[in-house]
Amino acid sequence: MADGADNKTHFGYKQVEKDRKAEMVADVFHSVASKYDLMNDLMSFGVHRYWKRFTIECAAARPGMKVLDLAGGTGDLTAKFSHLVGETGEVVLADINDSMLKVGRAKLHDMGVVGNVSYVQANAEALPFPDNHFDIITIAFGLRNVTEKEKALKSMQRILKPGGKLLVLEFSKPQNALMQKAYDFYSFQVIPRMGSMVAGDAESYRYLSESIRVHPDQETLKQMMLDAGFDQADYVNMTNGVVALHRGYKF
């Protein structure tokens, strides 16, 4: 049996039992699901759309490819991939949270995105897909919420085809002190108030800000990807490192 320290993980700045974290994160996203897209636009001043567009460009999806949009939430990336892979391709929108999946499915159906998209409720640490199955895997703003990130990265590496790529879009560490100071003020003073006013939930948005600070920085996550079996990994900073796109390749 694991000792107390080994069985703990972070939930924002709190230390919690590992087997409780998934449920606690689920509660956060059940709470924010209905206002998720609106809050993303407000919190990022719409810049999240640029970050996601760059991720799509780096993915270089082509007709006939199989794509997994992991922790895909309300389906922003799935919608783009569905168009790019066409009728002969396949896109799976997977999320551990059923509330987010329901919002994503309804949104994509309203957009007319049907036919080549399927929906799967799945835990990133034990993905229910065959080995060497997907050409591209993306996980946007989801990895920091995973309890065992190392297990999740190994699971992604397993189901990625040789020649495939993983794209991890995630908040990261700003590259200068002035940006870090401004970012901290905005994250802890403005975002929870915004969450309270718009979504009626300050605590969930306080957790989201804290979860960013305890997430591995750029170099640490790059090494974690290599340790998980990716043959090559790199990253690109955006908005001065507030967000980074990590890329892992399986040869």
Q: Which residues are annotated as a binding site for S-adenosyl-L-methionine?
A: 74, 95, 123-124
Structure tokens at 222: 């790059």
Going by C-beta distance under 8 Å and a sequence separation of 6 or more, which residues neighbour residue 239? Answer: 47, 51
Give the closest residue to 127 by CA, choosing from 146, 104, 101: 146
Structure tokens at 91: 């896109």
Kindly write down the DSSP assignment for every residue of 13-37, as one continuous string. TEEEEHHHHHHHHHHHHHHHGGGHH
Task: Give the residue numbers of the binding site.
Answer: 74, 95, 123-124
Give the length of the chain: 251
- d(Cα 139, Cα 181) in Å, to the nearest integer? 27
Give the HSE-up count for residue 91: Cα atoms under 13 Å, Cβ half-sphere.
Answer: 27
CB 249 within 8 A of CB 230: yes
Buried b / exposed e along 171-184 (16+ C-beta atoms within 10 A): bbbbeeeeeeeebe
- The residue behind tokens 């085809």 is 161
